[in-house]
Amino acid sequence: MDGELENTYEELEDIKLESEDILSPVTGKAFELSNAKDDVFSSLSLGDGIAFTPEEGKIYAPVTGEITVAYPTKHAIGIKSDNGLEVLIHIGIDTVELNGKYFESNIKQGMHVKAGEELVSFDIDKIKEAGYDPTVMMIVINTPEYKAILPKKYGEVKHGDLAITTQV
């Protein structure tokens, strides 16, 4: 069994990162991540990315890959693309405190998803009524492995629009 694991790790180490396009996970208004009202994300300490004011309560996969993290509270999703890009989508500020209330999702860790596939739905109005900011933040967790993380479009976006291009 250990030999099998070692082979798997060796295969993972052999993955060469490629430049990759990341799609908008939500319909709304895109803006600079540094302007998000969440210090952890706006400081870019977790990675570079982009933020969105959602106009529709649905999150779609920004890349094709594997769900690496599916929080039981349904407010955040980690995806590793087939090319090795690691993306975190975080729905709302401090919405972990809602414990999954106003969120619906059937994704599970280990699932393979395609870019554009619906992952989570959430009730923007109920989240606001509960006193939370519904801003969606999307970051590239493995930012240091890329030469550049280039947001492509600010302002009005639809899910599936090009949001970020990475360069290796």
pTM (predicted TM-score): 0.88
Residue 75 tokens, joined: 């407010």
- Which position among 75, 90, 112, 159 bears the catalytic label? 90
Could you report how far apart the first and last alpha carbons of the chain are, in Å? Answer: 34
Q: What share of the chain is helix, strand, coil (3-state, %, to 5)?
A: 20, 40, 40
Range of the domain at 72: 17-167
Amino acid at 99: N
Secondary structure tally for the chain: helices H, strands E:
3, 14
Please check whether residue 3 lies inside any domain of the structure: no
Helices (H), ranges, 14-71: 39-42
pLDDT of 55 > 60? The answer is yes
Please check whether residue 8 lies inside any domain of the structure: no
Q: What is the pLDDT of residues 114-126, one digit of tens each?
A: 999 999 999 999 9
**Of residues 58, 66, 117, the one with CA closest to residue 87:** 66
Domain count, the chain: 1
Question: Mean per-residue pLDDT for 86-108?
Answer: 97
Confidence of residue 16 (pLDDT cuts 50, 70, 90): low
What per-residue confidence (pLDDT) applies to 106? Answer: 87
Please check whether residue 11 lies inside any domain of the structure: no
In the residue annotation, 90 being an active-site residue is answered as yes
What per-residue confidence (pLDDT) applies to 18? Answer: 77
What per-residue confidence (pLDDT) applies to 11? Answer: 46
